[in-house]
Amino acid sequence: MKSVKRAAIILSGVISLLAVIIFFYMRHPQFGKAPAGKRLELLKKSAHYKDGKFQNAHFTPTVTEGYSMSGVIFDFIFRKFPRTRPAGSIPSVKTDLKNLPPSDNVLVWFGHSSYFIQLDGKRFLVDPVFSGNASPIPNSNRSFKGTDVYSAEDMPEIDFLLITHDHYDHLDYPTVMKLKPKIKQIVCGLGVGEHFEYWKFESSKIIEKDWNESVVLDDNITLHTAPARHFSGRSFTRNNTLWLSFILQTPGLKLYLGGDSGYDTHFAEIGKRFGGFDLALLDNGQYNLAWQAIHMLPREGLQAAKDLHTKRLFPVHSSKFKLANHPWDEPLRTITELNEKEHHIPLVTPRIGEIVRLNDSTQTFTKWWEHVK
């Protein structure tokens, strides 16, 4: 009996110690800050804010019917799945972003969902993650070998930092802090600005938007916001900030920057509203049937591209971090095979760092993943 009591006391002590460690660790600035005060009152007025949190347009379960969260966690921690990380190095190209001719309309992908766009002389950086880690816990989700050839130091001055939502694989605290002197303006969803103000960014540089709003960036460029089907949160509270997608529009180009999203009716609605796109970037990776409502499977990504009436599709959200249990190259391999059989949408699949020419719809790309084990 005494041994049972002793074990209970030890277990209680361990749990208490862990609770204290977690409490103090959660005070690290990287976790950001929940919206409060005037910002909280403003976001409560959004039509998409109900019952104390932001809501998707349609019911979006955290876990698909027939699956359980405990099962998902068990699989992720204890089960072994083949080839979730490449054995070899991911190929890349080092492009000098600081000396691109201002007249060049280009996109450069950094792996996962991070990319640089130069459009009509303006420079955009979307969801940059250059720290090599997709988690708030150091070294817990390291990037694949070969994917970290770019750093904050390689970035030129950024006219507009675009943040689709506040998850760690899209809003990376170490990266934005290193980029801070280079960022002229930030555009993000409602509530996300609280993180940036907490990190001492000037409030005058932060533009927070709801779905279906617009920002005129200059005489030739307008940035629109649009829905996505996802969720948000950097700590234990979910959906206290808004997730979104962006449309970059000039007289000559329309780009859809999808962020993270499950498949839903919003793609067709956006396609109809904007009359199609020259290029759409859609998430295609880190998916699972268990969380299909918040991340598209490859077949759904192709359908979303069709709904958007896009001329070219750039599948992103892959090839840098392991956030799901599928083989690392399955997203690109599967979407390419399905597209060749059924849809025939021109796919944009550059190597990390390779220049994508936004005005050249005839540009082709190699199946680089076939040469990586």
pLDDT above 70 covers what percent of the chain? 93
* Cα 188 from Cα 193, distance rounded (Å): 7
Can you give the pLDDT at residue 5? Answer: 57
Query: What pLDDT band is residue 6 in, cutting at 50, 70 and 90?
Result: low
Can you give the pLDDT at residue 114? Answer: 98
Scan for tokens 């498949």, then name that residue: 263
Query: What pLDDT band is residue 174 in, cutting at 50, 70 and 90?
Result: very high
Per DSSP, what are the bridge partners of residue 108?
116, 355
Query: What pLDDT band is residue 10 in, cutting at 50, 70 and 90?
Result: low
Confidence check: pLDDT of 258 > 80: yes
pLDDT tens for each residue of 147-168: 999 999 999 999 999 999 999 9
Output the six-digit token pair for 124.
């955009």
Output the six-digit token pair for 97.
């972003």
Can you give the pLDDT at residue 9? Answer: 59
Confidence check: pLDDT of 17 > 60: no
Confidence check: pLDDT of 7 > 80: no
Averaged pLDDT score across all residues of the chain: 94
* Cα 316 from Cα 126, distance rounded (Å): 12
Instruction: Please report, for the chain, the start and end positions of each structural domain, with discontinuous segments joined by +.
Output: 1-31, 97-371
Confidence check: pLDDT of 260 > 80: yes
Query: What pLDDT band is residue 298 in, cutting at 50, 70 and 90?
Result: very high
pLDDT tens for each residue of 358-370: 999 999 999 999 9
Confidence check: pLDDT of 333 > 70: yes
pLDDT tens for each residue of 207-244: 999 999 999 999 999 999 999 999 999 988 999 999 99
Runs of H (alpha helix) within the chain = 2-25, 37-43, 69-78, 173-179, 193-198, 266-274, 298-308, 330-338
What average pLDDT does this structure show over 262-277? 98
Detail the DSSP E strand segments found in 263-359. 279-283, 313-316, 355-357
Can you give the pLDDT at residue 139? Answer: 85
Can you give the pLDDT at residue 14? Answer: 58
pTM of the model: 0.94
* E strand or H helix that includes residue 187: strand 186-189
CB-based contact 257:282 (threshold 8 Å): no
Query: What pLDDT band is residue 305 in, cutting at 50, 70 and 90?
Result: very high
Can you give the pLDDT at residue 235? Answer: 87
pLDDT tens for each residue of 192-206: 999 999 999 999 999
Write down the CATH number for the domain with range 97-371: 3.60.15.10
* Cα 282 from Cα 78, distance rounded (Å): 30
* Cα 337 from Cα 195, distance rounded (Å): 40
Confidence check: pLDDT of 23 > 60: no
Per DSSP, the three-state class of 142 is strand
